[in-house]
Amino acid sequence: MSAPAILLEVEDLHTSFGIKGRRTPAVRGVSFMIREGEALGLIGESGSGKTVTGLSLLRLLPEHAHMDATVLNYRGRDVLGMSDEAFRAIRGVDLAMIFQDPVGSFNPAKRIGWHLEQAILRRGDTQDWHAEAEAILADVGIRAPERVLGSYPHQLSGGMLQRALLAMIIALRPSLIIADEPTTNLDNLVERQILELIRTHQRKLGASVLFITHDLAIAGEICDRIAVMYAGQIIEIGPTREVLERPKHPYAAGLLATSASLDRGDAELHELPGEPGGAIPVRGCAFAPRCAQAMAACSERSPPLVVVGPDHLARCLLHEH
Amino acid sequence: MRELISLLARVAQGAGAILLLALLGAAAVFFAMRAGHGDPALAVLGDMATPETIAAFRLKWQLNDPLLVQFWRWLSGALIGDFGASMVVATGEPIVKLVGSRLPNTLFVGAYALALALVISLIAGTISALRHGKLIDSASTSLAVLGISMPDFWLSYALIYALALGLGIFPSYGFTTPSLSLAGALYSGFLPALAIAAPMAAAFTRILRTALLETLFRDHVRVARSLGHSENFIFLHHVFRNALIPYVTVIGLQVRYLLGGTVVVERIFGVNGVGSLMVDAAFARDYPLVQACALVFLACVLLVNFAVDLICTRLDPRRA
């Protein structure tokens, strides 16, 4: 059996903020691909560039941002050269995004029914949006669809709104869903339900997912492969079990140790030394200043991504042979 | 049905509040007039007044009664629509007739000014927000600051100088009543309306620009974009629709500018309205006439504010 086709291919993605001459890089040469039906986790702490990567893919960056890549292909078609109008046509129906804050994701002046109606009409092949909206809402676990359709966003809870937002995405039937920490603002019970929904509907739609999160446990459950980001670069990428059980990059290993320490409820939390989000060194590995295993060479030259296992790459000189 | 009931409740509530505020306003106007200097008798009788004629005048208009008695007499009349007669400006004329004949002019110029301010600000505010940081935005923002800072009497004379005397496009003085000729009223009322509208247009433009910019970067706008909706759709339903809420609120707050505006501008352009009538009455110490004019203005502001409040409730479901 051959592997599923490649849906999205990204090579050497760079995104920076600010005006010419004084740009601050946020994403520094990210490359990955997602196959059809696959879930790729993008892990990293705040400021590692994972959200900016997601926004770059959908051209949703603020106007003072600048984005570039050598390859950005969707289903083998070049997306980078598309006009804004041509790209808009595939937004939503091909590439969709779920955001962190479900409350802010809704237009406060319009009812939920209006939002769903617009999403369903956007897809454009429906006679009766109302019946379809009710069916999808029931499908995402809303027990009183009629009442929710007639409600304004401020009348519903965050969990309810995230379900409704998911319903809008499902209505569009996209083939890639970029989920940017979709459960960060929700309580544990609701979080589990929403994750379950995302997984079920991903399978139903046959969609791929780029799951952006800082939570390793969630990524471990949802994703087929995991990419760990640090300071705007992917520093390790591989199959979920490979990365979680045999992390090769000291940063990924440290992150896992901290996560395990949290899960065990250690009296003394295992912490990574130093502060994240500091100035990126001009030369060498960005993690070197915080790395316990750093060598002299680490501050001399930037490490390339090297093969460290089956389908498993890490950006670290320790593994360069 | 539930919406209708809540709307009716709001109207009743608003009507009650308007009545209460109008009563307080009436009292304030009455006592403020009496607290000032001057005597209507002197204004009517002039230098030829003798102590006897003055005493006779005061007796005739019952000015010697205790203040509270006078207030009650005026208020009880006003409540049934009888504002008495003018003492000085048009001695003996019923005030209702006097004000009633001039009110259409004032309402016309006021509505004209409001319409101009809305049109100017909707265009300038939208362009400013969509081209923010660009040259046209700086120009419009600077113009708005100028509009807010310019006193209306100065602007009136500047407009007369440039558009009436200089280019000769508009008449510099006089106003055709709308009941006589609507086109004439629109033409002759343009400069006075523009003079009143300028500071309002400036304030409206600034709030619309700010509200649009603030809404432009909200999450739901980005979400709408991520769903692939068109930019026109997003601007209309997500950005403009939500920016309308602070915009309309500020319109309600700025309506008082219409007041001060008409009083000064009617005088300069010779518009035969309630504003110029009130100025004449105030100079002449024509107490009942000033009181009636002030009450009419107060009622207008309260009614407009009430209407704006109702519109805001409709616009913002979080306030319903």
The CATH number assigned to the domain holding B111 equals 1.10.3720.10
Which residue is listed with tokens 């499902």?
A170
For residue B107, give its domain range.
102-277
Q: Is B80 on the interface with A (CB under 8 A)?
A: no
The pLDDT, as a whole number, for residue A2 is 65
| Domain identity same for A183 and A160 | no
| Residue A179 belongs to some domain of the structure | yes
Cβ <8 Å between A119 and B227: yes
Cβ <8 Å between B222 and A101: no
Q: Is B226 on the interface with A (CB under 8 A)?
A: yes
Contacts of B315 in chain A (CB under 8 A): 109
For B222, which of A60, A90, A152 is closest by C-beta distance? A60
Does the reported pTM lie above 0.90? Answer: no
Positive or negative torsion for Cα B260, B264, B269, B270: positive
Cβ <8 Å between A122 and B238: no
Which of the listed residues A118, A146, A171 is the one where a domain comes to its end?
A171
Restricting to A residues 92-131, those with a Cβ less than 8 Å away from any Cβ of B are 92-93, 96-97, 99, 101, 104-111, 118-119, 122
Q: How far apart are CA A208 and CA A35, in angstroms?
A: 7
| Domain identity same for A182 and A167 | no
Cβ <8 Å between A104 and B217: no
| Residue B121 belongs to some domain of the structure | yes
Contacts of A177 in chain B (CB under 8 A): none
For residue A130, give its domain range.
110-171
Taking 50 as the pLDDT cut, the residues of chain B under it are: none
| Residue A99 belongs to some domain of the structure | no
| Residue A101 belongs to some domain of the structure | no
Domain count, chain A: 2
CA geometry: angle A208, A210, A213, nearest 5 deg: 145
Positive or negative torsion for Cα A63, A65, A70, A74: negative
The pLDDT, as a whole number, for residue A277 is 59
| Residue B26 belongs to some domain of the structure | no
For A109, which of B227, B233, B241 is closest by C-beta distance? B241
Contact yes or no for B162/B194 (Cβ under 8 A): no
| Residue A105 belongs to some domain of the structure | no
| Domain identity same for A77 and A166 | no
Domain count, chain B: 1
Taking 70 as the pLDDT cut, the residues of chain A under it are: 1-2, 276-279
**Cα dihedral angle (B141, B143, B144, B149), rounded to 10 degrees?**
130
Crossing angle (nearest 10°) for helices B274-283 and B95-130? 120
Q: 3-class DSSP state for residue B278?
A: helix
Task: Identify the helix (H) or strand (E) that includes residue A59.
Answer: none
| Residue A138 belongs to some domain of the structure | yes
Which residue is listed with tokens 């990059």?
A249
SS (H, E, C) B287-310: HHHHHHHHHHHHHHHHHHHHHHHH
The pLDDT, as a whole number, for residue B103 is 93
| Residue A103 belongs to some domain of the structure | no
| Residue B117 belongs to some domain of the structure | yes
Give me the CATH number covering residue A230: 3.40.50.300
| Residue B244 belongs to some domain of the structure | yes
SS (H, E, C) B159-177: HHHHHHHHCCCCCCCCCCC
Q: How far apart are CA B65 and CA B43, in angstroms?
A: 20
For A154, which of B217, B220, B318 is closest by C-beta distance? B318
Restricting to A residues 56-75, those with a Cβ less than 8 Å away from any Cβ of B are 58, 60, 62
| Residue B210 belongs to some domain of the structure | yes
Which of the listed residues A132, A153, A171 is the one where a domain comes to its end?
A171
| Domain identity same for A122 and A148 | yes
